[in-house]
Structure 1
């Protein structure tokens, strides 16, 4: 008999707790102000500008990410052969953090692939031009831009979100020609 009473009390407590949670969520009192799901984002260009004001170097890539219902830009910058990741709130534009990759400095100082590292930054077209080429081909929002070397060819890897889903476009960084378009399901 005592077990039945405890089960009833426990069930009532769970139901009451659920009702209070639903009520609080409908009133917006549970951390809904932290969500960036329905808010307008700053542009990638603005995120790049903010990041370069913090770390003056060469932007290697920009990516829009989401974590725990919060959107942010991750801007990768190379300065004096050191990689920095600058994290920028996609709604407010505030810098959320900076990560410095010191392991790359040791690699460069040993003289390994030093010329390769420098060649990746020298291209005929800029990141902005590569984005423009990609957007002429696919109508969408750019979520990631990265400069990379693949089999001796320097290319821009541009990720767009379109009405067709996610689309990856590779563009030759010297000629501006589209190398590959990959539609992801």
Structure 2
């Protein structure tokens, strides 16, 4: 009888000890899991010193470039170069074309290439004919975002077959949308959805 009681007590102690040990291990795994999530979050966010830095919007990048070089923005596109997010900005100012790479987080000018725009010789002098009587880039972006909500990654003012138009690329929740807008009327000429 003593043997059965000792065996029963021993079995109970082993079972109870196993349950406590399993509970402790589960809690240990949860704390490791939570720690890993926070580590991943801190690695994936762009930080400068102790504070998190947000990416500049297209409008902010445009303002920085135009404040320095004047003129008007022909195109702006968000790109990744050498593991750095940059805005590739083309500015036209009085016959000079500036090709600018601007850090998308800091607003720092990473590269500026300047060249004479020979295409400008057959355009009007003074105010560029390409921008006469057209809606603003901000108005075109607003029209495009109504057609395809998302994040604008490229805007370009272009002339094609005598028609001046804005070509706007937007990252949407389900892919990309390329939108062409008549620069004089603001009418949407084409919407092309590329779904992932």
Unpaired stretches in structure 1, ≥5 consecutive residues: 1-25
Q: How far is 1:121 from its partner? A: 1.8
1:45 aligns with 2:34: no
**Distance in 2 separating the partners of 1:123 and 1:182:** 26
| Aligned mate of 2:145, from 109, 114, 135 | 135
| Aligned 1:1-185 pairs, distance under 5 A | 40-102=54-116, 104-105=117-118, 107-108=119-120, 111=121, 113-115=122-124, 118-185=128-195
**Distance in 2 separating the partners of 1:114 and 1:139:** 35
Q: Give the count of matched residue pairs.
A: 148
Q: Which has the larger radius of gyration?
A: 2
Query: TM (normalized to structure 1)?
Result: 0.72
Tell me the SS of whatever aligns to 2:128.
helix
**Distance in 2 separating the partners of 1:128 and 1:177:** 14
**Distance in 1 separating the partners of 2:129 and 2:70:** 19
**Distance in 1 separating the partners of 2:123 and 2:154:** 26
Distance 1:183 1:39, change over 3 A: farther
